[in-house]
Chains A and B, each alone.
Chain A
Amino acid sequence: MRVLLFLLQKEFLQIFRNKTILAIIFVAPVMQLLILPNAATFEVKNIMMSIVDRDHSSYSQKLVEKLRSSGYFILTDYSASYKDGLKAIEHKKADLVIEIPAHFERDLIRHSKADILISVDAINGVKASVGGAYATQIISMFNRDIRAEWLPATRYNNAPMINITYSNWYNPLMNYKTFFVPGILVLLLTLVGGLLTALNIVREKEIGTIEQINVTPIKKIQFIAGKLIPFWITGLVILTIGFIISALVYHIIPAGSFLTIYLFAAVYLVAFLGFGLLISTYSNTQQQALFVTFFFLMVFFLMSGMFTPIESMPHWAQVLTYFNPVRYFVEVIRLVVLKGSSLFDVKRQLLVMCMFALGFNTWAIVNYRKTT
């Protein structure tokens, strides 16, 4: 224990002396969080909409108004039938058709349920799918407003708390940033966990200090713990810095509890520290470690749902994402930050992450034993 404490002291001393690492820890999160969400926005505007209103009720008109006033849609076509709507798409007069069925108002009031058909032009994939998603969100928001009107006043008054969290989840302004920022936090944590640890350990190999350490009574497990714990702490510090920036700059405050996020992050970091350790056992130079880590992280990031929704991936790719640890954290952090999910809601993801943590670390330690 005393030896471990001493190793930790040494590691922190080295981290705080290394300007590059300090920059990665404290400057990179700020930069990434300030630049990426603004640069990588997928916001789509001016989506051309064709409306087929077969109800002609006050509610259907309200809905159309709501869609128009959202700022994302322009009404370019009013068709009498769904068929005509599709023609509008064919003639590039519309990106999507929204069909409001007859008896829309009646069904909505009686059964508090009504079907709306959205049909999208698949030629401009991004515009279409984003437009479709926007429309769905706006319609369900509209739906909720209606239901709120019809709920008894007393119950409605009891519910404002729920309303706030809901409005977060549904992201009323369709602000892409709210969606993207939590993903960046995951990205940062992954880099610290995976890359910095791998580089740090391989550096000892490269400089030869590991040779000197190996002939001392330091146990391997102490050496490894001495390497991993500082980056585990660093990761959580970065997460905290990230949340402070998100709150100050983007006004994103998790709807759920910080405890859930930090608990998950703690396990997630253990998994990626193990991953970094694993890479380091296979690499002899920092360059090797860098390339190998980047290769994997790139794939992990692209297939995590961070940038493109998992649902829009081909089936085989969707299956592959189950083997991607990043996917789970992206999912969880969005659930907790945007929807306010509780620890209980994400227990399955937490369990999977524990397995990743166990798997990576076992493999790394077995391999570490073998190589030296």
Chain B
Amino acid sequence: MNAVSVEHITKTYLQKEQKKEKKVTALDDVSFTVDKGELFGIIGPDGAGKTSLFRILTTVLLADSGKASVEGLDVVKDYRKIRDRVGYMPGKFSLYQDLTVEENLNFFATIFNTTVKKNYELIKDIYVQLEPFKKRRAGALSGGMKQKLALCCALIHKPSILFLDEPTTGVDPVSRRDFWDMIKKLKEQDIAILVSTAYMDEANMCEKIALIQKGNILTVSSPEKITSEFDQPLLAVRSDDMYQLLYDLRANKAVKEAYPFGAYYHVIPEDANKTKELEAYLQQKGQKDLEVKPIKANIEDSFIALMKKND
């Protein structure tokens, strides 16, 4: 039995725009499965449909068509049973800001018919960091602390599957790394974890990822497999005038693709063997301190290529 199985799920919304009703497809015939105990990432830009997918799987939203099950339970028929077993951390902080850390945790434990003490083992590692603030109102916590509290509350009833919707959006880089460490630890407890993110670099943290764009799943695979399937030559290019450089690159017919990546531009040339010619062209354009080097594609290059293809 899969932890999650999604078959041909479609979801559309009616949006009012200047008095006209417009149909927006948030999920378009989406199918995939998540194995038991797997750390599964759903990666996609804003508006890709990640939240809609999570809400359907956590039984708070009905799909237009298709079937989905969590732990073998149908999201429509067995929604009550599913609610007992899943932990959900919505993208927006949604605990009671006017209750203290302790009160929030107790509240969520109690409504799941359990106690903090009973499942303390599960949240111990995370909760020790929160402990000094346990009498503080949730609304007065820092962003990173809020997120830890939300994770504790989602875990306190010992769910067998955890849904984390963009847990790292708007969190500083250090807290982000902390968070992924926590998630990895949780995985050892045999909890299947679905996590969505708009940060492509976080894909490497997951065992398996689904790349989603405009409601379509572009690929479902392991990060290694996805990078290994990148079948084009790739160059990293930089100079002292980065602005002009991008302009020059895009003006060249031998360049298929050029996009910023860290301190470099990643360039996909038409022909891998014509690197020298490209370098000469850029020098002739007056670029100084020029650096052009062939590199191996990483996961983000793969995503960008896949998304370009889908456009």
The judgment on whether A and B are partners is yes
Q: Which residues of A contact B (CB under 8 A)?
A: 3, 6-7, 10, 13-14, 17-18, 207-212, 214-218, 372
> CA of A10 to CA of B92 in the docked complex: distance in angstroms?
21
> CA of A211 to CA of B153 in the docked complex: distance in angstroms?
13
B233 within 8 A of A: no
Option from B84, B90, B98 in Cβ contact (under 8 Å) with A212: B90
Pair B94/A215 contact, Cβ less than 8 Å: no
Stretch of B39-47, B105-113, B190-198, B257-265 that contacts chain A:
B105-113
Taking the closest CB of chain A, its distance from the CB of B101, in whole angstroms, is 14
Pair B96/A217 contact, Cβ less than 8 Å: no
Which chain B residues border A217 with CB–CB below 8 Å?
Answer: 80, 83-84, 111-113
Option from A18, A208, A372 in Cβ contact (under 8 Å) with B98: A18
B86 within 8 A of A: yes
Which chain B residues border A216 with CB–CB below 8 Å?
Answer: 83, 108, 111-112
> CA of A309 to CA of B120 in the docked complex: distance in angstroms?
64
Rank and list the top 4 A-B pairs by shortest CB-CB distance, nearest first: A208-B94, A215-B88, A212-B94, A214-B60
> CA of A358 to CA of B111 in the docked complex: distance in angstroms?
29
Which chain A residues border B107 with CB–CB below 8 Å?
Answer: 6, 10
B99 within 8 A of A: yes
Pair B96/A211 contact, Cβ less than 8 Å: no
> CA of A216 to CA of B112 in the docked complex: distance in angstroms?
7
Q: A14-B98, A17-B98 are in contact. Are A215 and B60 (CB under 8 A)?
A: yes
Smallest CB gap from A216: residue in B: B111
Smallest CB gap from B139: residue in A: A207
Q: A14-B99, A217-B83, A372-B60 are in contact. Are A208 and B93 (CB under 8 A)?
A: yes
Smallest CB gap from A372: residue in B: B60
> CA of A13 to CA of B138 in the docked complex: distance in angstroms?
14
Pair B94/A218 contact, Cβ less than 8 Å: no
Pair B80/A208 contact, Cβ less than 8 Å: no
Option from B86, B97, B103, B113 in Cβ contact (under 8 Å) with A207: B97
- Interface CB pairs A-B, < 8 A, 16: A3-B110, A6-B111, A10-B107, A14-B96, A14-B99, A208-B92, A209-B96, A211-B90, A212-B88, A212-B94, A215-B88, A216-B108, A216-B111, A217-B83, A217-B84, A218-B111
Number of residues in B with C-beta < 8 Å to the partner? Answer: 25
Pair B90/A208 contact, Cβ less than 8 Å: yes
Tell me the residues in window 77-128 of chain B with beta carbons closer than 8 Å to chain A beta carbons: 80, 83-84, 86, 88, 90, 92-99, 103, 107-108, 110-113
Smallest CB gap from A15: residue in B: B98
Which chain B residues border A372 with CB–CB below 8 Å?
Answer: 60
> CA of A209 to CA of B107 in the docked complex: distance in angstroms?
12
Which has the most chain B C-beta neighbours within 10 Å: A3, A13, A17, A215?
A215
B216 within 8 A of A: no
Q: A6-B107, A14-B98, A207-B97 are in contact. Are A215 and B86 (CB under 8 A)?
A: yes
Which chain A residues border B110 with CB–CB below 8 Å?
Answer: 3, 6
15 additional A-B pairs beyond A14-B99, A211-B92, beta carbons within 8 Å, are: A3-B113, A6-B107, A10-B96, A13-B103, A14-B96, A14-B98, A18-B98, A208-B94, A209-B94, A209-B95, A211-B94, A212-B88, A212-B94, A212-B95, A215-B58
Taking the closest CB of chain B, its distance from the CB of A250, in whole angstroms, is 37
> CA of A214 to CA of B163 in the docked complex: distance in angstroms?
14
Q: Is the interface of B mostly helix, strand, loop or mixed?
A: loop
Which chain B residues border A218 with CB–CB below 8 Å?
Answer: 111
> CA of A210 to CA of B94 in the docked complex: distance in angstroms?
8
B168 within 8 A of A: no
Which has the most chain B C-beta neighbours within 10 Å: A3, A17, A217?
A217
> CA of A18 to CA of B153 in the docked complex: distance in angstroms?
23
Which chain A residues border B92 with CB–CB below 8 Å?
Answer: 208, 211
Which chain B residues border A17 with CB–CB below 8 Å?
Answer: 98
B59 within 8 A of A: yes
Taking the closest CB of chain B, its distance from the CB of A213, in whole angstroms, is 8
Taking the closest CB of chain B, its distance from the CB of A332, in whole angstroms, is 37
Smallest CB gap from A209: residue in B: B94
Pair A211/B60 contact, Cβ less than 8 Å: yes
> CA of A242 to CA of B157 in the docked complex: distance in angstroms?
45
> CA of A211 to CA of B52 in the docked complex: distance in angstroms?
13
Smallest CB gap from B54: residue in A: A215
> CA of A18 to CA of B83 in the docked complex: distance in angstroms?
30
Smallest CB gap from A210: residue in B: B94
Taking the closest CB of chain A, its distance from the CB of B59, in whole angstroms, is 7
> CA of A287 to CA of B268 in the docked complex: distance in angstroms?
52
> CA of A218 to CA of B98 in the docked complex: distance in angstroms?
20
Taking the closest CB of chain B, its distance from the CB of A369, in whole angstroms, is 12
> CA of A372 to CA of B61 in the docked complex: distance in angstroms?
8
Taking the closest CB of chain B, its distance from the CB of A15, in whole angstroms, is 10
> CA of A7 to CA of B111 in the docked complex: distance in angstroms?
8
Taking the closest CB of chain B, its distance from the CB of A371, in whole angstroms, is 12
Which chain A residues border B111 with CB–CB below 8 Å?
Answer: 3, 6-7, 216-218
Which chain A residues border B86 with CB–CB below 8 Å?
Answer: 215
> CA of A3 to CA of B83 in the docked complex: distance in angstroms?
15
Taking the closest CB of chain B, its distance from the CB of A5, in whole angstroms, is 10
Taking the closest CB of chain B, its distance from the CB of A197, in whole angstroms, is 17
Which has the most chain B C-beta neighbours within 10 Å: A7, A207, A210, A372?
A207
Pair B99/A13 contact, Cβ less than 8 Å: yes
Which chain A residues border B84 with CB–CB below 8 Å?
Answer: 217
Taking the closest CB of chain A, its distance from the CB of B63, in whole angstroms, is 15
Which chain A residues border B88 with CB–CB below 8 Å?
Answer: 212, 215
Taking the closest CB of chain B, its distance from the CB of A4, in whole angstroms, is 10
> CA of A197 to CA of B177 in the docked complex: distance in angstroms?
42
Smallest CB gap from B157: residue in A: A216
Binary contact track B127-158/A, C-beta < 8 Å → 1, others 0: 00000000000000000000000000100000
Which has the most chain A C-beta neighbours within 10 Å: B92, B96, B108?
B96
Which has the most chain A C-beta neighbours within 10 Å: B84, B103, B110, B153?
B110
Smallest CB gap from B94: residue in A: A208
Taking the closest CB of chain B, its distance from the CB of A130, in whole angstroms, is 49
Which chain B residues border A14 with CB–CB below 8 Å?
Answer: 96, 98-99
> CA of A10 to CA of B96 in the docked complex: distance in angstroms?
10
Smallest CB gap from B89: residue in A: A212
